[in-house]
Amino acid sequence: MTVSIENQIAVVTGAGRGIGRAIAIELGKLGARVVLAARSRTELEETARTIGSSASVIPTDVRKKEDLQSLFEQVATAIGPVDILVNAAGLGIFGPVVGFRDEDFEILIETNLRGIFFASRFVLPSMIERKKGHIVNIASIAGKVGSANRAVYCASKFGVVGFTESLAEEVRQHGIRASVVCPGSTDTRFSPGESSGKARERMLRPADVAHVVRMIVLQEPNSFISEIIMRPTQKP
């Protein structure tokens, strides 16, 4: 391994559990100074204990622009400029379009897509100035293929894929690499309906996604991995 992220500053949203937690732990193992962001301080502190002294906890609701702004202002003031941003916060609410609640639509779009937009926008000026940085957005296989009763969820994840692809083209001239990861069925328990009827032992694990993020951030500087689609070896 010739590329190192030791002492780089990495912010991970959704770091309290599931995929975000696994990614934060993996980045901590690589020597990064990891800033953990999610709504639950209790969950974040548990993740921080696993990582050790290099982890910092800043409770953040990615649905709130002001929370995200405060997060990155605190990081810049107390720790330094962000080198790696992993947008892993997300949730799933499923159901047919007819009868889908307005408030659930807003929650999905604000969490899964709008939060990624603002988080990325807050870190980009510093990255552009320094001519380097990684932004890794966690989408889903649902961002590639639609399915019944998941129209709004799929729309949010399709949005993440399109946003990341376009962002990558905007910022690559500045030495910034934007990547999107699209995992298939993952055993995160982030939504009661996600694993319904599926064999959990065959699902992807959060650590599998973390391994992919490890590969992305350790990529040699002359290239970048723009998109990775992950599937379980056997269908759950």
3-state secondary structure of 180: strand
3-state secondary structure of 86: strand
The span from the CA of 118 to the CA of 62, in Å, is: 9
DSSP 172: G
Catalytic sites, residue numbers: 153
* Strands 84-87 and 227-230, sheet pairing: unpaired
The span from the CA of 213 to the CA of 16, in Å, is: 17
In terms of DSSP H, where are the helices of the chain?
A: 18-29, 41-51, 65-78, 102-109, 115-130, 151-171, 206-217
The span from the CA of 38 to the CA of 60, in Å, is: 5
Q: List, in order, residues 6 or more apart from 113 with CB less than 8 Å away.
A: 156, 159, 160, 163
The span from the CA of 72 to the CA of 142, in Å, is: 29
